[in-house]
Structure 1
Amino acid sequence: MSVVKSLIRLDTEASLEPLCLAVRDGIPEIRYLAIDGIVNFYLPGYVDTGFGGFFRSVSGRVEALFSDVDAVVADPDIRINETALRTLRQSLTGAPDMRTRVRAARALGILRARQAIPDLIEALYFNNIELVEEILRAFQKIKDTSVGPRIVFLLSFPQEEIKQAAATTLGLLQTESTVPDLRQLFENSRDKKTRLAAFDALAFMPQQQTAPLFVQYLDDREKELRASAVLGLGRLKDPGYLGPLQQQRDKERDGRVRLALAFALVANGQLDSLEELVSDLTTRTRRGEARPYLVELAREEAVREALRPHLYSTNAAIRKNLCQVYAASGDSASISYLEALLRDRDAEVVQEASRAIRILRSKGF
């Protein structure tokens, strides 16, 4: 175990090959740590607070970075070492215990290992609940839309948690062919969490035929259903539903639903509602929702231009989080906006601006 820890602390590409050898060790704990060590090479600090938390001395910054391990994912421009990739793929389908396979599935998702999709699909049929859940999380991170039709069968899985994870994955992948299946799950399931997951999924890929369903739940007593209904109508971008959305905003009191309403209104051209989304980047309780909304909205040039002045906000949290938004949804023009932040007085802002520029250039901008 101490040898593996030393290899992780070494933090060089030369340590990857011996870590790969350790993944095949006869002691399970060594296998687990070696897999986490491979991830740690690409995401420094992961071993501190990741799956196992083997190293207990964790800085505040690292702890914040990995506060939600399920959301941790490598930058899109990272290229995985071939030996490491092959080792993780082999561990997923051939490791002697299921916990090692689960660990490998998580690693492949974090590293966005698109090459491992055939192995991940194969591993679904091992019928291990924990492994299936981890594979679905991996698909959410890899974001290969071709996966969607191949996991529809999981909506009929006996365990509710698998149905929920499958519905979420199909929504994120926008597998529109599954809309009838998701609607049936929403209307027929007796499990509250499963119904909500199906409704969330429908909201990611709204269609005219599902719009009346969203209108029906726009004023529901359950705030989660109201939020999803708002998001569905917002993404539909039909001017005919702008009035109901504005009316709901005037009477809505729940903060999460109001944030969803701000998203929906911006999606329908009401750019003045951007202020609420940007403002919530300063609060820990809301930025986890506000930033993904902005990432989605910033795919439109008009939104990117409207956000540009906020890149130079006096609030460092806003500058830093908007760098992440532009990294995900920016274009060639965004690089020049971000270059001005390379001289920012806040070191974390400089780091995020540099990262965003690197990612955008890796996309060919």
Structure 2
Amino acid sequence: MGPADKHPRHIPVLISEVLETLAPKAGEIYIDGTFGAGGYTRAILEKADCSVLALDRDPNAIRGAAPLIAQFGRRLKIIETPFSQMEDAVGAELPGQQVDGVVLDIGVSSMQLDDAERGFSFQSDGPLDMRMSSSGMSAADFLNTADEEDIANVIYEFGEEHRSRAIARAIVKRRVDAPFSRTLELADVVSRVFHGRKVDGRHPATRTFQALRIFVNDELGELTTGLAAAERILKPGGRLVVVSFHSLEDRIVKKFLTERSGKTAGASRHQPPELIKSADPSFRLVNSRPLTPSKGELEVNPRSRSARLRAAIRLDAAAWPLDTGATGLSQHRR
């Protein structure tokens, strides 16, 4: 049984809004950069006689795609790769072509959260892993080897956690006795910092787990690189649809689309002003404010409550110069 089979109740977030904005048409080609359980891909392929090139860096998601491949045949191609590499994937699978739409669902998937062995959740015990792919540094590797200051900075920057110094201090103190290996070990340490009290109605470890997951998977760097890649592979008139779930992601998407649509005059500090000044708008915004789940969707799928959808249509102008420096750690220290 593959991952998709284990989650028959998987509900794609904002699916009606995604389809309306993406507007699939027969003969067109779409990129689903975050395949997951295949919800967006299935909906796109059922909506029109089109094709989807689906990407995911999670090998479990790739293995779970077999039923959809059997159903849609040559209209669907699945590749194990992060969506930041979509330009290479299109170049390999569709040489010399551009695509009609790109959809991205940013962050951890429901099937990853619900699988204790992946280590994403503080709700059940499992290995303290948090990797979306099958390679690289795990959360446990980082917590057991990093300096206290680096741990504090990661928790503050990527979790927006103002008790990050106290949490980092408690982590370093705890690992002297035994290295971290399990999710509940970390959840317990963080809970003790808050004396077991909830924070804004949530488990006190919520922000720490979020921060480590984003850091381990370089999620904000992936997003920045992926947005620029989508800009390069979309044909004029192509649609970019991005669903994000917290402020750090949404901030990056909003900044990217606002700048690319010519709505702001401010240049990024990572690019020479003369390059920004000469860049024509490459996108037209579809919605000036993000779309959010309806009351009905929230009742059916409470996990959708923080979802935000932003979208834009590709214009004829050339892609902007790359800006890859905007998501690193700042100089804040807590």
The TM-score, its normalising length taken from structure 1, stands at 0.25
Q: Answer 1 or 2: which has greater strand percent.
A: 2
Q: Answer 1 or 2: which has greater helix percent.
A: 1
Higher Cα Rg: structure 1 or 2?
1
Between 1 and 2, higher relative CO (CA 8 Å, sep ≥ 6) is seen in 2
The TM-score, its normalising length taken from structure 2, stands at 0.27
